[in-house]
Amino acid sequence: MVNIEIDGKKVKAAPGSMIIEVADLHDVYIPRFCYHKKLSVAANCRMCLVEVSNIPKPVPACATPIAEGMVVSTQSEIARDAQKSVMEFLLINHPLDCPICDQGGECELQDIAVGYGGDSSRYEDAKRVAQDKDIGPLISTEMTRCIHCTRCVRFGSEVAGVREMGMLGRGETAEIGTFIGKSVESEVSANIIDLCPVGALTAKPSRYSARAWELKAHPGIAPHDCLGSNIEFHIRNGKVMRVVPKENEAINEVWLSDRDRFSYQALNDTNRLQQPMIKENGQWNSVDWQVALERVVGNLNAVLQKYGADSLGALISSSATLEEMFLAQKLMRQLGSNNIDHRLKQMDFKGDDLDDVFPELGCELADLENLEATLLVGSNLRKEQPLAAIRLRKSTQAGQVFAINQTDYPFNFKLAANKITPASDFAKQLAGILKAAVSQNSVELTEDWVALLNTVESDETHQKIAQALISKEKAAIIFGAIAQSHQEFSTLRNIARKLSEVTGASFGRLTTGANSAGGYLAGAVPHRDPLVLGHDLPAGKNVQQMLSGDMKALLLMNVEPEKDTLLGETSLEALKSADFVVAFSSFADGKVKEYADIMLPIAAFAETSGSFVNVNGTMQSFTGAVAPIGEARPLWKVLRVLGNFMELPGYEYTSSEDILTDMEKNSSTKLKKGASKAPKKLESFETHVSEVNIYQVDALVRHSTSLQATVDGLAVNSLA
């Protein structure tokens, strides 16, 4: 450790630390604009100038490493004069439009100007004016306010891995902008709004809608991917005005995907379902909750009496809360049916008996950036899990990432090897790597595995990947959404598990939805009770069987099968042929009015309490940030009342916490790890694997107008 003194305070710090880092650790304030703890040091704003003993001139604290015996003063006359002089230069061209600037009240320049700015300016020449640029539907620009800190530029090149912005020109004519007039298209682009220390870059959807001091912050959890990013809702008059990241180093650091940031717009969409509705003679009529639920109970009882419990099925969103999933499966099983599923994007269910406790990543999210060798299988990671891609990108500075995909996706990091192959050959490619690993590691296999590997060849790329997975201490095999929606997913998973066993690499999955892990733990699957393994149930129907078969009654819980399942519009035939369909939904548009008989308004993600479980098994609970719109109610409340109406036992819950307590009380500790078995044979076959557009993953993002106006939002789902 190095001994230094800052403002009379003697401290110890790690060698190589910069003065500003040591000051922050010991609560010594140094003003700054260009410095950010997650970005490289630029040292171009000079606001952090401090005095250091035996150095004749002030030095930038962000770029000056500490040395033994160093004495630093941040408040000396030399330091203060230097800081005030820099502030004067920065204010020369900055416009005085704080009263109309969205950044007003939370502006770093505004705050620092109070302490270091002057009452008047000595500058009398013409001020620089920059032309505003249209860089897309998410970010608004006022580039005359820009102070050239280059945080936005560094974020793109260092964190997002997409060089979209840069500084053009020299001296006072220099301007920050996009290259060749392009829009900013990165899936994490809006983080530059948070990074901008002035009002040059602000959120376009919430522009001129509220002042910073009018907003009340409420913590929450992002509902669109399996990471569980921490967020803050900014609320004014009971309405969500914007969403920003809440720091959590273990999960999302200080970043947020654009999908998580702007999906809040759907909360006030004109297509929100605000009252219970019943279809009579082809016409939709609004009714009260009593009438709607009585109709649901009557029709369900009629179906049960006429066709039996196996004719009843339920589909629930993989972004439903743990409590909602638990109550949904409880209701179904008390009615005698195991036909419930949340795995909307899965096609192959042959391996249900070999499922893990829940689909997990296999390593901590934060450890993604420390991996030395990673094999991605069937994943367009940038679009599926944007923040996981940022983490994994860091690993490529010292490690290697390999990929097996059907398309050459534009990753935001360099691949050590990229195996582009038809989806039908994914299993052969994995088996080729396994064969190479067995040979290199001299592993003895059972006869079934030996027979399988004798049917495949191992090429040079397979050897390279196997060698990396074996030789590196921190190695991982990760399945993306494309692999998990594969028609031979169970085969791929079996081979990957064996490869993990042979190489010592971890194996995991990055699932769709915010609560796929919770779906397994809560029992929202047709073959398992809540949290119980080894107590498998008589097989109920999975999502594919329910939407391809002859179900007489279906409960759709925040699910639009034609958009949310891999069957797409082919599911409409089963929906329209059912005797009775109930849509528990936040929205009343699309084709739901064609196949549903009753629509019940459900509170959206900011309007309800509950819990999500991420891919590390971390449970995060949250409360509602705003009141539900109209007559909408949280799904757990609707299911509780429905259970009461059907005179079922155990529906006395008064809060989502009560449901969680009940679930934990009935949980089992008899947990087992999923096993692997050798596939009988590998065959090439005609197949397609659906890739879901980043802004089509659920109803919320589909109803966010700004996200739909982006380049990705305007693109249609692609099928390969």
Closest CA to 228 of 24, 416, 510, 418: 510
Of 515, 619, 691, 598, which is closest to residue 291 (Cα–Cα)?
598
Pick from 506, 187, 249: which is nearest to 373 by CA? 506
Instruction: Output the pLDDT for position 534.
Output: 41
Q: Give the chain's residues under pLDDT 70.
A: 531-537, 667-688, 716-720
The answer to whether residues 459 and 500 belong to one domain is: yes
| 520 shares a domain with 506 | no
Predicted local confidence at residue 719, as pLDDT: 39
Pairing of strands 165-168, 610-613: unpaired
Q: Do 698 and 564 touch, CB atoms closer than 8 A? A: yes
The pLDDT of residue 669 is: 37
Q: In terms of domains, do 502 and 556 share one?
A: no
Same domain for 566 and 474: no
Secondary structure (DSSP) of 292-332: HHHHHHHHHHHHHHHH-GGGEEEEE-TTS-HHHHHHHHHHH
- Whether 375 maps to a domain, the answer reads yes
Task: Tell me the torsion sign for CA atoms 647, 648, 650, 652.
Answer: negative
Residue 426's CB is within 10 A of a number of other CB atoms, namely 28
Spatial distance between the Cα atoms of 13 and 24, rounded to a whole number of angstroms = 11
211 belongs to a structural domain: no
User: CB–CB of 464/433 below 8 Å?
Assistant: no
- Contacts (Cβ under 8 Å, ≥6 apart) of 7: 28, 72, 73, 74, 75
Which of 72, 92, 112 corresponds to the end of one domain? 92
The residue among 73, 92, 111 that closes a domain is 92
Q: Please indicate, yes or no, whether residues 392 and 475 belong to a single structural domain of this protein.
A: yes
Residue span of the structural domain in which 477 resides: 365-440+447-510
Angle between helices 489-503 and 426-441 (to 10 degrees): 20
- Say whether both 505 and 521 belong to one domain: no
**Could you tell me if residue 97 is inside a domain?**
no
| 620 and 639 belong to one structural domain | yes
Q: What is the pLDDT of residue 126?
A: 82
Establish if 294 belongs to a structural domain: yes
Positive/negative CA dihedral, 103, 107, 111, 117: negative
Q: Is residue 214 part of a domain?
A: no
Inside any domain, residue 706 = no
**Is residue 44 one of the residues assigned to a domain?**
yes
What distances in angstroms separate CA 656 from CA 223, 305, 326, 639, 659, one per listed residue? 17, 32, 11, 12, 5
Q: What is the pLDDT, as a whole number, of residue 52?
A: 96
Do β-strands 690-691 and 312-316 pair in parallel, antiparallel, or remain unpaired? unpaired
- From 92, 110, 143, the end of a domain falls on 92
Q: Give CA–CA dist 505/508, Å, rounded.
A: 10
What CATH number is given to the structural domain containing 505? 3.40.228.10
Note whether 369 and 491 are same-domain residues: yes
192 located within any domain: no
Report helix angle 635-645 to 289-307, nearest 10. Answer: 60
Residue 593 burial class via C-beta count within 10 angstroms: exposed 0-12, middle 13-18, buried 19 and up: middle
Domain count of the fold of the chain: 3
Q: Do residues 336 and 410 share a domain? A: no
Same domain, 604 and 549: yes
Examine the domain organization and report whether 405 and 424 are in the same domain: yes
What does the pLDDT read at residue 706? 96
| E strands in 195-280 | 201-203, 216-221, 230-236, 239-245, 277-280
324 neighbors 610 (Cβ within 8 angstroms): yes
Q: Which CATH number is 32's domain given?
A: 3.10.20.740
Instruction: State pTM to two decimals.
Output: 0.93
**Residue 65, beta-bridge partner list:** 18
**In the prediction, which pLDDT does 667 show?**
64
| Alpha-helical runs (H) found in 569-697 | 572-577, 592-595, 635-645, 656-665
Looking at the structure, tell me whether residues 587 and 523 fall in a common domain. Answer: yes
